Structure 1
Amino acid sequence: MASPRRVIVYPPDEDGGRRVRIDGQISGRAFSAQDVAAFMQVAGHQEFDEMDVVRSELIEWRGGGPDIWEH
């Protein structure tokens, strides 16, 4: 399967969750980089793991990088 065109991880909300949008579709709320990897896998990108999420240039982190999970 082709790589996603765009992945956006939005700033943390009051609960520490971050909305994740993959190719224009909201995938859910992530509470860790591991959750983002799980969303990527569900979207058909099984090769993504937590380290890929942290290093990938495909992912746009808004409101802080993959180490920011508090509002």
Structure 2
Amino acid sequence: MSAFVVVHPPASGGGRRVSVHGETLGTAYGLTDLIEYLARAGLDIATVDLYDESVIEWQGGNHLVWGRAAE
């Protein structure tokens, strides 16, 4: 089973697109933004494990990567 939350690779201008079940929720510039999007999507942020690959797929870097993609 694949993750239903995807944090996409960093954009050239910074930030990362966040999608849930294929629907884009917005661009996150850090964990605070990501947590807000997850809460809006109805996830219980008190119990979501940001490192659980069955829940969140981190593309192009982990939770520490929010800036520009490496060139």
Superposition TM-score, scaled by structure 1 size: 0.77
Deviation at 1:55, TM superposition (A): 2.5
Higher relative strand content? 2
Aligned length: 65
2:58 to 53, 56, 61: 61
Where in structure 1 are there 5+ consecutive unaligned residues? Answer: none
Query: Can you list the C-alpha shifts for 1:7-44, whole angstroms capped at 9, x where unaligned?
Result: 11111112211000101100000000121111010011
Distance in 2 between residues matched to 1:17 and 1:53, nearest whole Å: 21
What fraction of aligned residue pairs are identical, expressed as a percent?
A: 34
What SS does the corresponding residue of 1:70 show, helix, strand or coil?
coil
Maintained 8 Å contact 1:9/1:62: yes
Maintained 8 Å contact 1:18/1:31: yes
Match of 1:34 in 2: 32
Write the letter of the residue equivalent to 2:62: G
The correspondence of residues 6-17 of structure 1 with structure 2, limited to 5 A, is 6-17=4-15
What is the aligned-residue RMSD (CA, Å)?
1.9
Superposition TM-score, scaled by structure 2 size: 0.77
- CA change 1:22–1:56 in 2 (3 A) is same
Where in structure 2 are there 5+ consecutive unaligned residues? Answer: none
